[in-house]
Amino acid sequence: MNVNSLITKDYIKYDDFAVRKNKPNSKPISSKAKMNANAFSQKDYENVRLHRRRENKPNQTRSKAEIPTGELLGILKPGTNQTQRLSEFFLFFTFLGASYNPAMQNWTIQKLLNWITEYFTERGIDSPRLNAELLLSHVVGLKRIELYTQFEKIVAKEQLDRLHDLVKRAGQHEPIAYIIGRTEFYSLQLYVTPDCMIPRPETELLVERAIEFLRKRSSRHFVCDLGTGSGCIAIAIARNYPDADITATDISEAALKIAAKNIEKYQLGDRIRLLCGDLFDPIMSQPDVDEFDLIVCNPPYVSAVEFEKLDKTIKDYEPKLALYAGEDGLDICRRIVKKVDQLLKSDAALMLEVGYNQGQAVRELLEQAKCFSEITIEKDFSNNDRVVTARKI
Ligand SMILES: C[S@@+](CC[C@H](N)C(=O)[O-])C[C@H]1O[C@@H](n2cnc3c(N)ncnc32)[C@H](O)[C@@H]1O
């Protein structure tokens, strides 16, 4: 890679790669993360890192002690005089503090992007550059790519005030998706709030398999999405398979309100119906109980030990109800497998998202049920167990 010809794309890849490198099992924020990270080697990563350092500190011949702290942090350009240096340095730190006064300086998109990235890096926020771009583009009302074409644009005071609050929240590990109120999933823009789990890129694999399955059968199909949360799986299937008639359920009324908003956004109200209740109960209590051609579910699957170790960004902000599933993380799965055959047509499919090491345990549960064949476990792009599929005999 030529480090002098770096473009936005490389920075985005760099961020995705950095996340995976540091936390191989973590969930990258960008839905393109898997492609980006896979297309990026350790050598590219080192190159970009070096390039970034040089961008901020071109005079590499000076010893560390000779370089002002502001330059070391990438805040100051080399060559600024002492007075400028002190005032810029002061402004950077006060940007996030109470005495921040935006009128004192012309804040360009480029300056803000660099400084927020540094701030997130210092605070151990995943994908610092990507998250800085997401926040900034949200506040200034530009697409991420447009930030780079308007680098010198001066950001208005009201926008700076807003940005200041949002950067502070993100610095305390609040998920960016909740801060900006939306996320991307399967090329859809979905509303999210702390009432629903933030859809993850890994879940796109489940959606892909579901759409493939339906397309092979090519007729009108009844699909159930158990534990729909934001509605992401149901909406992605409905948008990509026009003959799917979907029932989406969740035990959380608050989550269903978000799902309803997303369904309305994509005008799918006539094809997705929402039911509230515990697993299959709300379906069973309908006057005409449906049998489905496909049941998909991304259940809660975090075990007790894993829950304690979860990243602060997840544990402190996302609903526990969407994550935790008993001692071994299989409580919900067990309950689904016990009852699901009553609601599946013969030859219909069950597709479950599972935890990184749960494939075999879920396969055994399905085998014990004695009503499934063709049980498969599929790994995701991080080589973790991710989707278990079974066919009703
Ligand atoms: C892991 S989240 C998945 C959300 C969404 N489908 C997604 O993929 O982003 C699990 C969802 O199941 C719901 N849930 C938990 N226990 C449930 C139960 N007993 N019955 C129905 N839904 C449940 C949670 O409220 C949450 O929305």
367-386 pLDDT, tens digit per residue, is 999 999 999 999 999 999 99
241 with 170, same domain: the answer is no
Using the mean position of ligand 1's atoms as its centre, give its distance from the Cα of residue 270 in Å.
22
131 with 232, same domain: the answer is no
pLDDT of residue 198: 98
169 with 207, same domain: the answer is no
**Residue nearest atom 10 in ligand 1 by C-alpha distance:** 322
CA pair distance 186, 192, nearest whole angstrom: 15
258 with 163, same domain: the answer is no
Please tell me if the CB atom of residue 183 comes closer than 6 angstroms to any atom of ligand 1: no
CA pair distance 233, 225, nearest whole angstrom: 7
What is the chain's mean pLDDT, rounded?
83
Q: What proportion of the chain, given as a percentage, has pLDDT over 70?
A: 73
158 with 289, same domain: the answer is no
Question: Using an 8 Å Cβ cutoff, are 221 and 347 in contact?
Answer: no
- Which of 177, 195, 222 is the last residue before a domain boundary? 177
Task: State both tokens at 175.
Answer: 């998920």
pLDDT of residue 219: 80
pLDDT of residue 69: 42
What's the start-to-end Cα distance of the chain, in Å?
52
Q: Is the pLDDT of residue 274 over 60?
A: yes
pLDDT of residue 46: 54
Statement: the pTM of the whole predicted model exceeds 0.85: no
72 with 127, same domain: the answer is yes
Angle 46-50-51 (CA atoms, 0-180°, nearest 5)? 115
Phi, psi of 246 (to 5 degrees): -110, 135
HEC profile for the chain? CCHHHCCHHHHHHHHHHHHHHHCCCCCCCCCCHHHHHHCCCHHHHHHHHHHHHHHHCCCCCCCHHHCCHHHHCCCCCCCCCHHHHHHHHHHHHHHCCCCCCHHHCCCEHHHHHHHHHHHHHHCCCCCHHHHHHHHHHHHHCCCHHHHHHCCCCECCHHHHHHHHHHHHHHHCCCCHHHHHCEEEECCEEEECCCCCCCCCCCHHHHHHHHHHHHHHHCCCEEEEEECCCCCHHHHHHHHHCCCEEEEEEECCHHHHHHHHHHHHHCCCCCCEEEEECCCCHHHHCCCCCCCEEEEEECCCCECHHHHHHCCHHHHCCCCHHHCECCCCCCHHHHHHHHHHHHHEEEEEEEEEECCCCCHHHHHHHHHHHCCEEEEEEEECCCCCEEEEEEEEC
CA pair distance 119, 97, nearest whole angstrom: 12
| Mean pLDDT value across residues 164-171 | 95
194 with 137, same domain: the answer is no
Phi, psi of 174 (to 5 degrees): -70, 135
Q: Which of 51, 55, 71 is nearest to 63 (CA)?
A: 71
Please tell me if the CB atom of residue 281 comes closer than 6 angstroms to any atom of ligand 1: no
pLDDT in tens, 128-145: 999 999 999 999 999 999
pLDDT of residue 3: 37
pLDDT of residue 87: 47
136 with 169, same domain: the answer is yes
Q: Is the pLDDT of residue 214 over 60?
A: yes
19 with 161, same domain: the answer is yes
Q: Distance of CA 307 to CAs 123, 301, 322, 329, Å?
A: 22, 10, 12, 9
Angle 301-302-303 (CA atoms, 0-180°, nearest 5)? 115
Q: Distance of CA 234 to CAs 125, 134, 220, 313, 323, Å?
A: 30, 26, 15, 26, 19
**Residue nearest atom 9 in ligand 1 by C-alpha distance:** 199
pLDDT of residue 72: 41
Task: State both tokens at 275.
Answer: 């039911």
200 with 85, same domain: the answer is no
- Which of 146, 177, 208 is the last residue before a domain boundary? 177
CATH number for 211 = 3.40.50.150
170 with 211, same domain: the answer is no
Please tell me if the CB atom of residue 203 comes closer than 6 angstroms to any atom of ligand 1: yes
Burial class (CB in 10 A: 0-12, 13-18, 19+), 368: exposed
Question: Using an 8 Å Cβ cutoff, are 232 and 186 in contact?
Answer: yes
CA pair distance 276, 51, nearest whole angstrom: 52
Number of domains the chain contains: 2
Atom of ligand 1 nearest to the CA of 300: 1
209 with 349, same domain: the answer is yes
Q: What proportion of the chain, given as a percentage, has pLDDT over 90?
A: 70
Instruction: Give, for ligand 1, the residue of 29, 188, 196, 197 to mutate: max count of ligand atoms closer than 8 Å to Cβ.
Output: 197
| Mean pLDDT value across residues 153-162 | 94
Please tell me if the CB atom of residue 298 comes closer than 6 angstroms to any atom of ligand 1: yes
- Which of 141, 160, 177 is the last residue before a domain boundary? 177
Minimum mean pLDDT range among 79-93, 147-161, 205-219, 222-236 = 79-93
CATH number for 109 = 1.10.8.10
Question: Which domain does 22 fall in, by range?
Answer: 3-177
pLDDT of residue 45: 52
Handedness of CA 385, 36, 14, 108 (dihedral sign): negative
